[in-house]
Amino acid sequence: MLPFLRQSFLYSLILILAVSCKTYQLTEAKPVSSSEKMVENLYFSSTEDYVYKCQMDIYKNHVSGILIIKKLNETTHRVALTSDFGNKLIDFEVSDNDFRLNYVLPDLDKKIVINFLKNDFQQLLKRKYPVSESFENKNAKIYLSKIDKKSYYLFFSKENGLLKEIVYTKNNKEKIDFTFDAKKPIFADSLNLQHKDFKINIKLFQITETE
């Protein structure tokens, strides 16, 4: 049994490395000229509370609860996750360059968990993206934003102009795929956050809607 376990672990490790080393490339898209110098993710730009049902899968662990996102100022959001019974699990403030942990349940107080949440929400709540290149396919206008070693591909629907996807890459490797379902530019009805090199998935579903 032990050799089999070692072999399974080795195969899993090779698979993870293969996925994490995959270079991201746009498919079925062509370069276009554009006057856009800056594009924005406005889904969390309101000062009203954003309240979502949250489902979080981290490898074989499942966590569900209520997620509240509050814009504190132009650069900072406060994020709180409670259980379905109202018990606070984690509470933090996050911006592009800062992170402050206000509270975390002892069972979740692990460096790897905190770092994942910090990075995920820094990427999700990022608002402004300077445009480096522009593309389009049959369904979307696509803007590439390059910031240091990070790149973001933002897909805006040609049908309604709303942001429907952000692909976050680092060192040309795909890291996180954010997909949105929305009817308004400032509020996403649902959101799916999928890691590409780890078995981590976060899904958010609307509970209350901002005006």
CATH of the domain at 24: 2.50.20
> Considering only CA atoms, which of 39, 60, 42, 43 is closest in space to residue 52?
43
- pLDDT of 12: 44
Provide the residue range defining the domain that includes 104. 2-208
Q: Whole-prediction pTM value?
A: 0.85
What's the number of domains the chain is made of?
1
Buried b (16+ CB within 10 A) or exposed e, 96-126: eeebeeeebeeeeeeeeebebbbbbbbbbbb
Q: What is the residue-level pLDDT of the chain in tens, covering all 211 positions?
A: 333 333 443 344 444 444 444 688 898 899 999 889 999 999 999 999 999 999 988 877 788 999 999 999 999 999 999 998 889 999 999 999 999 999 999 988 989 889 989 999 999 999 999 999 999 999 999 999 998 889 999 999 999 999 999 999 998 899 999 999 999 999 999 999 999 988 889 999 998 654 4
